[in-house]
Chain A
Amino acid sequence: RKEVEQDPGPFNVPEGATVAFNCTYSNSASQSFFWYRQDCRKEPKLLMSVYSSGNEDGRFTAQLNRASQYISLLIRDSKLSDSATYLCAVNIGNGGSQGNLIFGKGTKLSVKP
């Protein structure tokens, strides 16, 4: 099993739709989780951090399920501007020592008019 896995998509959805992405991780000691957004030919930018039971930021909700070792990203009321690739990242350290982020390969979202 790869350390961090994502469905590559593409997810093609109409404007206004709700879409959800999952990201599974293999290291049960991982403590920190992130969702990044990457636009075409641009650098990844932090979208949301996920630290405990999840968090919400406007139309975006991130959830963590430690028992099943996955995080999810829910986007409500999709906008054309949400079209991008969404990367999940997981800290492979155990919180007590310095670690690195392992990135998934990304899920491509295309929102259509």
Chain B
Amino acid sequence: NAGVTQTPKFQVLKTGQSMTLQCAQDMNHNSMYWYRQDPGMGLRLIYYSASEGTTDKGEVPNGYNVSRLNKREFSLRLESAAPSQTSVYFCASSESGYFSQPKETQYFGPGTRLLVL
């Protein structure tokens, strides 16, 4: 199993450009998440999808859109990139999102490093 995969690994954009970050998981998880991580700010939730067909805003959704394409894939789109969106983006997945079972937690992808000039 590959776990959670993300593409691309690195990306440089100019202000105003758009791009889509791709995420896929092969663990048959129901819930998927997008985070950004900035120095001194920790991991902040952008959007999440509790199950296929649903998406909800997290702590910092402005400037982003998401699509839960199917159970495996959850993409994050920047319509008009801004320098403030320079960050490391992590996708994660979990079995149900209830975290009530001892081994249920979130599994993270390797991240996408995005620089917006």
Binding site for B on A (CB under 8 A): 31-32, 34, 42-46, 49, 51, 87, 89, 91, 93, 95, 97-101, 103-106
Contacts and interface: CB of A to CB of B under 8 A. Distances in A.
Nearest to B31: A98
A78 B74 CA distance: 38
B11 to A, nearest CB: 15
A98 B90 contact: no
Nearest to A51: B102
A34 B108 contact: no
Contacts of A97: 98
Contacts of A95: 98, 100
Interface stretch (B12-20, B41-49, B64-72): B41-49
A105 B41 contact: yes
A81 to B, nearest CB: 20
Contacts, number: 57
Contacts of B110: 42-43
A49 B97 CA distance: 15
A44 B108 contact: yes
Nearest to A32: B99
Given A32-B99, A98-B50, 11 more contacts: A31-B99, A32-B100, A42-B111, A43-B90, A44-B90, A46-B107, A91-B99, A93-B98, A98-B96, A100-B33, A100-B58
A106 B107 contact: no
From A31, A32, A34, A97, residue with most partner B Cβ within 10 Å:
A32
A100 B45 contact: yes
A44 B91 CA distance: 11
A34 B87 CA distance: 24
A96 to B, nearest CB: 9
